[in-house]
Amino acid sequence: MAENAAIFHTTSIVLDWDNVVGANLYSIQVSVYPDFRVALESSNALGTSTHSFTDAGADDAKRYWRWRYSTDSGTTWSAWSEVGSYWLDIGLTAGYTPAQGGWALVDPDDVTDAYVLEVAPRHTVVESSINRVKIRNRQGELLSEYLTTKGIITLEFPEDGFMHHEQFREFCRFHTEIKTFFLVANTDNGRDHVTKIWKVQVTEDPALTMFAAGREDLMTGTVELEEV
């Protein structure tokens, strides 16, 4: 399967996913909402496991996307895939595509400033819905309510998946100098490679411990990041 970009600098979007043996039809949805309540792009009539379209949504924002397949020409459908994501920023001069299985820290103002983690971390992502804006009329009736989802991403670096000191320095540099940056991942769920992106800040100064006495170059612990 082709590797999907995590950051697009053009509205011409191409999304690709694994072929499914026996599938004769695919469906895709793209949305700015993680629950897909409003589709930015959708199709139920794809003959191949790829889709090209023009992204007409707002610039400098995150998109979510998912796909499913049918083996009987659309009479029945599989469950939706794991949700992937990408960021659109047409003000950039280039996009960014992570390698399969890769994790990276990327400067949102200059994607050439990217650090690929030497060791892919274990990770957990906790999503929470947050009320952003509520508008009421003079009678106090709720007119609009805007919800968004903010993730807390915890990266674990245990003894069998330690962080090299160079990697620790880069986390500290992105935290103190860039402050708000992209965390990009290409993960394998056993069915497909899923590209994901979060715009994050480190919640507190990274504080890892050395792997063992005399091995100050290897660090263990966790780093917590919050989506902004």
Most confident of 102-111, 139-148, 168-177: 102-111
166 membership: H or E segment, kind and range: helix 165-173
133 vs 106: CA distance, rounded Å: 29
Alpha-carbon dihedral sign for residues 221, 204, 186, 150: positive
Structural domains in the chain, sorted by start: 7-97 (2.60.40.10), 115-227 (no CATH)
In the chain, the percentage of residues whose pLDDT exceeds 90 is 64
pLDDT of 2 higher than 90? no
> pLDDT, tens digit, for every residue of 10-55?
999 999 999 999 999 999 999 999 899 999 999 999 999 999 999 9
Among the ranges given (91-95, 118-122, 132-136, 221-225), the one the predictor scored with the smallest mean pLDDT:
132-136
